[in-house]
Amino acid sequence: MLILVTGGAGFIGSHVVTALAGAGHEVRVLDALLPAAHRTPPPVPDGVDWRHADVRDAAAVSEALRSVDAVCHQAAMVGLGKEFGDAPAYVGCNDLGTAVLLAGMAEAGVRSFLLASSMVVYGEGRYECPSHGVVGPGPRKVADLRAGHFEPPCPQCDEPLAPGLVAEDAPLDPRNVYAATKLAQEHLASAWARAVGGRVIALRYHNVYGPGMPRDTPYAGVASLFRSALERGEAPRVFEDGGQRRDFVHVRDVAAANLAALEGLPALPEGTARAYNVGSGQPHTVGEMAAALAEAHGTRTPVVTGEYRLGDVRHITASSHRLREELGWTPRVAFAEGMAEFATASLRNG
């Protein structure tokens, strides 16, 4: 297959390109080289067709779609951002860009679409109350966060909740601008599939980490922020109490999930979309991740600050059972192994 990878010069995208090329696919890359992610593109594997253009450029997209069999859409502005004033940039990059791309695919007759989505579409993760069963806590209150009360209580009885794993059929509740744009991308893709008889797979990535993450940017994930601090000789600053539960999944495993999804797209019925969680299946706290990185790096011990960011959720970990069962994907990089590698891996300039 000839596969167009948007954002193929980015952190995840470049690993996806390597995996696809290694599996024998023809690959074409379209990337705007946004400075928040990188200053220059990484080395392009032999045989990859490289296009420097923005996914919002309809003419460039139309040209890039020539003879393409499937599109792997990795291009996006990522992370929580710095303030709500970032909203127009997020919506422009993520939602307008996706709309332009899908319109071009409709015209070009390309009917297979793989979307890089995110676990942030769920908002808070799955919680269970001993008295009321599975419940959905509301947004955390500023007063509670300031007082160091980080765990969301049961909305009915105010008692502590037990976090669990989120499945793909869980209610969707985006709680920041980035999350809202990722859910909008999924809705746009579903609408496109119904309109043209296309097939869509949305991969809801969990906390992806690994070699090639951008350094020193507020738009990067927490793993990159901690790794950047260590490289500067500073202690990683862990927000809240460090007890936030996440699923840290290695970028090579995410690339393998993309390969499995692209090869599984033809089996979907026409006009349908299917979502899959992409996680390691081994939840860890943010504090544990910071400690593992610091120990492997051999420098500064993390500092737990008690600070918080509005829009962050407390716990979000997923079940990747559907991806394993339906597409045969299995994560290969264990947490300790991955963090040891990442502690000294090269980062890209953002």
Q: What is the pLDDT along the chain (350 residues), one digit of tens a residue?
A: 999 999 999 999 999 999 999 999 999 999 998 776 666 666 777 889 999 999 999 999 999 999 999 999 999 988 766 678 889 999 999 999 999 999 999 999 999 999 999 999 998 899 999 999 999 998 889 999 999 999 999 999 999 999 999 999 999 999 889 999 999 999 999 999 999 999 999 999 999 999 989 887 766 678 989 999 999 999 999 999 999 999 999 999 999 999 999 999 999 999 999 999 999 999 999 999 999 999 999 888 999 999 998 878 899 998 999 999 999 999 999 999 999 999 999 888 76
Contacts for 94 with CB less than 8 Å, ≥ 6 apart: 76, 77, 178, 181, 182, 184, 185
- Give the integer Cα–Cα distance in Å for 133 and 205: 27
For residue 109, being part of any structural domain is answered with: yes
For residue 313, being part of any structural domain is answered with: yes
CA atoms within 13 A on the CB side of 187: 11
pLDDT computed for residue 349 by the predictor: 74
pLDDT computed for residue 85 by the predictor: 85
Which tokens hold the place of 77? 């502005």
DSSP state of 293: H
Residue 88: CATH number of its domain: 3.40.50.720
pTM across the whole model: 0.94
For residue 38, being part of any structural domain is answered with: yes
Q: Which domain holds residue 60?
A: 2-125+166-344
For residue 57, being part of any structural domain is answered with: yes
DSSP 321-350: HHHHHHH-------HHHHHHHHTTS--EE-
For residue 47, being part of any structural domain is answered with: yes
* Short-list 314, 301, 306, 247, CA closest to 278: 247
pLDDT computed for residue 40 by the predictor: 65
For residue 143, being part of any structural domain is answered with: no
Contacts for 111 with CB less than 8 Å, ≥ 6 apart: 105, 196, 197, 198, 199, 270
Active site residues: 178
Query: Taking the chain, what is the end-to-end CA distance rounded to the nearest angstrom?
Result: 32
pLDDT computed for residue 36 by the predictor: 66
- Give the integer Cα–Cα distance in Å for 208 and 212: 11
Which tokens hold the place of 41? 């593109």
Helix or strand or coil: residue 91?
A: helix
Paired sense of beta strands 112-118 and 70-73, if any: parallel
- Give the integer Cα–Cα distance in Å for 145 and 312: 11
pLDDT computed for residue 34 by the predictor: 79
pLDDT computed for residue 83 by the predictor: 76
* Short-list 110, 89, 2, CA closest to 49: 2
Q: Show the beta-strand stretches assigned E in the chain.
A: 2-6, 26-31, 49-52, 70-73, 112-118, 126-129, 133-135, 162-166, 199-205, 207-209, 214-215, 237-238, 245-246, 248-250, 272-278, 284-285, 303-304, 317-318, 348-349
- Give the integer Cα–Cα distance in Å for 7 and 73: 7
DSSP state of 56: T
Give the count of domains, the chain.
Answer: 1
- Give the integer Cα–Cα distance in Å for 327 and 73: 19
DSSP 143-181: HHHHTT--SPPPTTT----EEEEEPTTSPP---SHHHHH
For residue 55, being part of any structural domain is answered with: yes
For residue 78, being part of any structural domain is answered with: yes
Angle among Cα 286, 305, 278 to the nearest 5 degrees reads 15
- Give the integer Cα–Cα distance in Å for 197 and 199: 7
pLDDT computed for residue 79 by the predictor: 75
Q: What are phi and psi of 288, to 5 degrees?
A: -65, -40
* Short-list 197, 192, 324, CA closest to 268: 197
The residue type of 3 is I
